[in-house]
Structure 1
């Protein structure tokens, strides 16, 4: 649940940054990107699919059963 809340907070911050992109300084952008890397990495680490999903370049789209 903690990861979910962290993801929600990150999403809100990213949405706010998108609306105010022209006034954000470089350090704030760096902090948001670093947080996104950490959160998305944790999500992917925990959500390893049981069925192999073909790479995007294969042109195949996974079905809902595969996800």
Structure 2
């Protein structure tokens, strides 16, 4: 549940930063990106598929 709450908080902060992108300090953006890397990494560790998933093709956008 703690990881889920971190993800929710991060999403709210990222959405706020997007709305005010022109006024967000560089260090705040750096901090948000660093937190996103950690949180997404932990989420992916928990959600490892039992069957390997091939990487997306170059130029292909996931749907």
Query: Scaled by the length of structure 1, what TM-score is found?
Result: 0.82
Q: Report the count of equivalent residues.
A: 60
Residue 50 (1) aligns with residue 41 (2): no
CA distance in 2, matches of 1:11, 1:40: 11
Shift >4 Å, 4+ stretches: none
Larger radius of gyration: 1
Unaligned runs of at least 5 residues, structure 2: none
Higher RCO structure, 1 or 2 (CA under 8 Å, sep 6+)? 2
CA distance in 2, matches of 1:12, 1:55: 29
Unaligned runs of at least 5 residues, structure 1: 62-67
Alpha carbon RMSD of aligned pairs, Å? 1.7
